[in-house]
Amino acid sequence: MLKRRIPPRIARIEELAYNLWWSWNEEVRELFQAVDATLWNDTEHNPVKLLHEVPEERLVKAAADPAFVKRFDAVLLAFDEMLAGGGSWAAHERPELARKRIAYFSAEFGLHNSLPIYSGGLGVLAGDHCKEASDLGVSIVGVGFMYPRGYFHQRISSSGWQEQAIEVINWGHAPIRPITTAAGERVQVSVAFAARSVTVAAYEVHLGRGRLLLLDTDLEANDSWDRDIPARLYGGDQRTRIAQEILLGIGGVRLLRALSIEPTVWHANEGHVAFMMLERLREQLAAGVPFEAALERVRAATVFTTHTPVPAGHDAFPFSLLEDSFRGYWDGLEPLKDRCFALGEHQESWGKSFNMTVFSLRASGRCNAVSELHGRVSRRMWRGVFPDRTEDQVPITSVTNGVHVPSWVAPRLSALLSRTLGPDWLTRHDEPALWEDLVSVRDDELWRVHLQLKRGFVGLIRERARLRWMRGLTEAAQLLAAGTLLDPEALTIGFARRFATYKRATLIFHDIERLFRMLEDPWRPLQIVFAGKAHPADDPGKHLIREVYEKALDRKLGARIAFVDDYDLHVSKFMVSGVDLWLNTPRPPMEACGTSGQKAGLNGAPHLSVLDGWWYEGYRGGNGWAFGRKREQTMESDDALDAQDLYRVLSEEVIPLYYARDSDNVPRGWVELMKEAMRSAATRFSARRMVKEYVEQLYLPAMRASAELGEQATLEATPVRASERVESAPD
């Protein structure tokens, strides 16, 4: 909450700052930039921090500036029209969604750097999902955790080893506010955990028309261990992990009840939040509903999305830990406890467990994977959960992930498209007919914008390196490894993702001499920029980072390899718009979807990937390249074959096309490829298409099924003892 005086004429600028709608609306960001351009950059585009730190005379000056006030009024008018929601897709096309709300539970949300409560693709996908739901007028309330220590900052030592640095987040500079009653008291609920009670409160984030509730246990009522349970995303041992997931799933449901928020559909984004379903099942049982009927009512209203094609990536807990963690939870329902736990029973390599994904599959009426190929893999993986069905009958459908176009298209490129496709192109970007006019975009103009974005990315890399040097955080050789000698004119490949072994980040180094010849070709040089983090407990992933870093330090490679550390949302927006080509090398079929290539494609960077994840269905020949054999199963022995095919595609197709220039130095064949990459990303792989499919295929059917079985009617008829409602709380 701001404690400084803002001139009355522009007082609602604070309201704008506390609604993350600004993060995907260029006009609002330009308004804050106009307050103080230097401070806007220094705060990494965080308007809350800007308003805290800007001198008051700057605000007074802005309020007295007619040009600023005119811009402010225009932004405020658009803001109020957005909040009213009358012109949204849902209001026009799906009026049955009116007064219906979807609760969207996720362990992480990637929204903006000012709110570091995400680690990677799962969180960014959740953030894009909620932003697009707001744009479409689909009412979503997100439920997640407030991680006071966020996710880690990455530093690379001089030897190339990843080091983790934790920074305590300054909540006063984040776009959040505590949820309180009308009397100003924080809304709190309690969760029985391991024979004790843990108190849970929450902060609120406004996302356009939507809301995000972030749970918090750092309260005086809790002891020190309980206050630290959600301190770090994916931190600690299994006991900490199950504690986090109990508090998120059960505490999240109870908080919604306390706030009188009654979702029609409950969406579980990955198995981390499975206990949300368990709590609702317990509510039904406490209301006297027989077990099978209670389970069917919960299933009817529940949608579950699985993201992980790797068995080890699914949370599983020993039953002994489960029993201990749920002591005190059942409140007289102990005879039904075993039936509830049996829903998650699964045989792991180390013995029987409670598997969060298995429980979610059995407790959800609608389940989906995140790409067409991932759907096939998931049906094969979980066929044993449905022994009476064939593999094709396993009830897991697919909705391919997409990216939120307003968040990821570069402002310079968006301005160009506004001039050629029309000023309303962002509101129509999923319409194929709109993109027929892309032919009217002049090749030289698109290429000029792309080169500006490319230089902007190289400039960001150099500025980050300069600041590190000034602060004594790096050595001279590391400055070169960070990319300070990158050539803005050379063909630049981007590779940025979590460093896990199956993603094969070092595949392109398989034949280093062959790669060297491409890197150092004096007429057609190549350079590669890597970025990404390894999980703190993943030593093999850290070894991959060190291998890449050693190449970046290697003088023989002429500074043509770079590693950009501490990859985050701010850097990623520069990178996906500032490289020429996006590389993806997972070992099929272990990439569930992958959306970084979609973001790059949206900005005109074609994709070069094996046929896995979204590229399995997205590759059309004219929007990028595929290498390796098309297959649904693979072995490590395929790595050498894939590497050789990668070199072939680069040397015979990619590099010649990039350097084939007309007299005006414009690579027209490459620009045509850029246009097709933009077209396919914006129409087929946008979050707009994705959320519409969720509505049509999952949310609306769940709403109808829930209406027939009446989960909410049961709870309204028989008040639940587990939480108190706070009728005066904001909604």
Do 536 and 396 have their domain in common? no
Last residue of a domain, one of 84, 100, 135: 84
Longest dimension (CA), the chain: 82
- pLDDT at position 724: 43
Which domain, by its residues, includes 54? 8-84
Q: In whole angstroms, what is the distance from residue 548 CA to residue 531 CA?
A: 10
The model's pLDDT over 482-498, given as tens digits with 9 standing for 90+, comes to 999 999 999 999 999 99
Question: Which residue type sits at 564?
Answer: V
Q: In whole angstroms, what is the distance from residue 500 CA to residue 64 CA?
A: 54
Across 383-387, average pLDDT: 95
Helices 569-578 and 443-470 pack at an angle, to 10 degrees, of 140
Q: In whole angstroms, what is the distance from residue 446 CA to residue 243 CA?
A: 51
Q: In whole angstroms, what is the distance from residue 272 CA to residue 242 CA?
A: 9
| Confidence at 215, pLDDT banded by 50, 70, 90 | very high
| Confidence at 193, pLDDT banded by 50, 70, 90 | confident
The model's pLDDT over 420-469, given as tens digits with 9 standing for 90+, comes to 999 999 999 999 999 999 999 999 999 999 999 999 999 999 999 998 89
HSE-CB of 570 using CA atoms within 13 angstroms:
15
Which of 110, 111, 113, 109 lies closest to 44, judged by CA? 113
Asked if the structure places residue 665 within a domain, the reply is yes
Do 383 and 503 have their domain in common? no
Across 541-565, average pLDDT: 94
* pLDDT tops 80 at residue 222: yes
Q: Which strands, in side-by-side order, build the sheet including 316-317?
A: 316-317, 351-355, 345-348
Question: Distances in Å between the alpha carbon of 1 and those of 43, 174, 220, 626, 660?
Answer: 17, 9, 21, 50, 55
CATH number (domain holding residue 501): 3.40.50.2000
Do 385 and 477 have their domain in common? no
Question: Which residue type sits at 600?
Answer: A
Which of 206, 85, 215, 205 lies closest to 138, judged by CA? 85
Does pTM top 0.85 for this prediction? Answer: yes
Last residue of a domain, one of 84, 109, 124: 84
Do 710 and 605 have their domain in common? no
The model's pLDDT over 564-620, given as tens digits with 9 standing for 90+, comes to 999 999 999 999 999 999 999 999 999 999 999 999 999 999 999 999 999 999 999
Surface-to-core class of residue 71, CB atoms within 10 Å of its CB (0-12 exposed, 13-18 middle, 19+ buried): middle
Spatial CB neighbours of 33, under 8 Å, sequence gap ≥ 6: 40
Asked if the structure places residue 664 within a domain, the reply is yes
Q: What percent of the chain has pLDDT over 70?
A: 95
Q: How many domains does the chain divide into?
A: 3
Helix (H, G, I), strand (E, B) or coil at 507: helix
Asked if the structure places residue 425 within a domain, the reply is no
Asked if the structure places residue 723 within a domain, the reply is no
- pLDDT at position 615: 97
Do 13 and 43 have their domain in common? yes
Do 190 and 59 have their domain in common? no
Instruction: Spell 331-365 as b/e; 16+ CB within 10 A means b.
Output: eeeeebbeebbebbbbeeeeeebbbbbbbbbbbbb
* pLDDT tops 60 at residue 723: no
The model's pLDDT over 677-688, given as tens digits with 9 standing for 90+, comes to 999 999 999 999
Do 220 and 325 have their domain in common? yes
